[in-house]
Structure 1
């Protein structure tokens, strides 16, 4: 529910903001198709696949370990929000290597920070993202997974926010509270710029700072996205098309 309400709120803010409304109206037909299918696939199809296939796979492979991990609620939350976030940092960074860039490049065809473009990807990219496999595993292992699932929900909500253009005003109290540790929309905007290789983190800036991949700026870049000559079918089904 947290993810759904975050999406609705960000979409409402987008529609009622004249500048963002212009961004939506100038979307091409191809962009609408990519973004709509991406949101459906990642928001509905992948969670269903996690429950119907991946979770059942762990039952088959690890029949004696279900509900074998007992963690305090805060530890389960941190496992999801911090530890898995670090795994994703490296997962994302690998997507930017020469060998894996071909399945991630479609996400970087987004030219505006826009919540509708959060899940723009080839349909197969989700199967290479650590979340699909690791979340199902820990939910299977944990005796009480509710707090772990809360961490998943918060990470997903932040992902929607991070891809929007609604960031706290610089020098506001909210910006001062969040900026030292959380990846903000302007931080992720630099990740989507054409000239910066960095800001790979999802929730926390810590990983980029530790590994010296953090690009600091209180402003947003002048331009976003890459040019791509891929057809719509290739953008959806690469590498199988």
Structure 2
């Protein structure tokens, strides 16, 4: 529910934001369709696969380990929000290597930061993102998964916010509280800048980028977003197949 309400609120704010050109004028029909399919696939199909396919796969492969992991609530939450976040950092960096960039480049065709473009990817990319496999595994292993699921929900809500254009002002309390440790929309905007070499690969925490020297800090926003590409709509959806 947290993710759903975050999406609805951010979408409503985007559509009614009088300070920005109306969103209908910014996005082509192709982008609307691409983003809509991506949101449906990652928001509905992928969770369905996690519960009904991947979870069952672990039952076949690890039949004696179901509900074998008993963690305190804070440990279960940290496992999801911190440990998996670190795995995603490296997963994301790998997508930016020469060998895997072909799968991830579609996500960087977004030219405006808005919540609708959060899930713009080829449909096959979702199967190479660590979340699909690791979340199903821990949900299978944990005796009580509530706090782990809370970490998933918070990460997903932050992902939606990170891709929106609602950047906290530098002198605001929101910026003061969250800037030292969270990847903010302006941080992720630099990741989506047109030259695509600004780092900021982390999802939740800035810590990983700072540790590994990939953090780029700027209080301003990049002049332009998105990469030039010549992929057709079908290739953007199904590439490389």
- The normalised TM-score by structure 1 is 0.98
Distance in 2 between residues matched to 1:190 and 1:102, nearest whole Å: 20
Distance in 1 between residues matched to 2:131 and 2:84, nearest whole Å: 8
Q: Corresponding residue for 1:141?
A: 141
Contact 2:15 2:23 in 1 (8 A): no
Q: Secondary structure at the match of 1:165?
A: coil
Q: CA deviation at 1:21?
A: 5.2
Distance in 1 between residues matched to 2:179 and 2:23, nearest whole Å: 26
Q: Name the stretch that deviates more: 100-109 or 168-177.
A: 168-177
Distance in 1 between residues matched to 2:105 and 2:115, nearest whole Å: 18
State whether structure 2 residue 46 is matched by structure 1 residue 60. no
Q: CA deviation at 1:239?
A: 0.9
Equivalent residues in 2 for 1:199-214 (5 A)? 199-214=200-215
Q: Corresponding residue for 1:123?
A: 123
Distance in 2 between residues matched to 1:79 and 1:237, nearest whole Å: 32
Equivalent residues in 2 for 1:1-241 (5 A)? 1-20=1-20, 22-195=22-195, 196-240=197-241
Contact 1:186 1:218 in 2 (8 A): yes
Q: Name the stretch that deviates more: 15-24 or 227-236.
A: 15-24
Contact 1:15 1:21 in 2 (8 A): no
Q: CA deviation at 1:181?
A: 0.2
Contact 1:14 1:21 in 2 (8 A): no
* Distance of aligned partners of 1:227 and 1:20 in 2 relative to their CA distance in 1, 3 Å threshold: same
Contact 1:23 1:112 in 2 (8 A): no
Contact 1:88 1:201 in 2 (8 A): yes
Number of residue pairs aligned between Structure 1 and Structure 2: 240
Q: Secondary structure at the match of 2:22?
A: helix
Q: Could you tell me which runs of 5 or more consecutive residues in structure 1 were left unpaired when the two chains were aligned.
A: none
Q: CA deviation at 1:176?
A: 0.8
User: Which runs of structure 1 show a deviation greater than 4 angstroms over 4 or more consecutive aligned residues?
Assistant: none
Q: CA deviation at 1:4?
A: 0.1
- The normalised TM-score by structure 2 is 0.98
Contact 2:189 2:225 in 1 (8 A): yes
* Distance of aligned partners of 1:59 and 1:116 in 2 relative to their CA distance in 1, 3 Å threshold: same
Q: CA deviation at 1:20?
A: 4.0
Query: What root-mean-square deviation, in Å, do the aligned CA atoms of Structure 1 and Structure 2 show?
Result: 0.8
| Cα deviation 1:24-57 (Å, max 9, x = unaligned) | 3331111011100000000000000111110000
Q: CA deviation at 1:166?
A: 0.5
Q: Could you tell me which runs of 5 or more consecutive residues in structure 2 were left unpaired when the two chains were aligned.
A: none
| Cα deviation 1:121-166 (Å, max 9, x = unaligned) | 0000000000000000000000000000000000000000000010
